[in-house]
Amino acid sequence: MILALQVSHFTAAVTFALFASVVFGITQRNNPRDMLRYGAYCFTVFVLGMFAAGWVMWLLHH
Contacting residues toward other proteins, per CB under 8 A: 1, 4-7, 9, 12, 15-16, 19-20, 22-24, 26-27, 30-31
- Residue 54's Cβ-side half-sphere holds a number of Cα atoms within 13 Å equal to 9
Q: How far is the CB of 11 from other proteins (least distance, A)?
A: 9
In the complex, what is the shortest distance from the CB of residue 40 to other proteins, in angstroms, rounded to a whole number?
Answer: 14
Is 42 in contact with 20 (CB distance < 8 Å)?
yes
**Residue nearer to other proteins on the CB measure, 27 or 58:** 27
Rounded CA gap, 2 and 25, in Å? 35
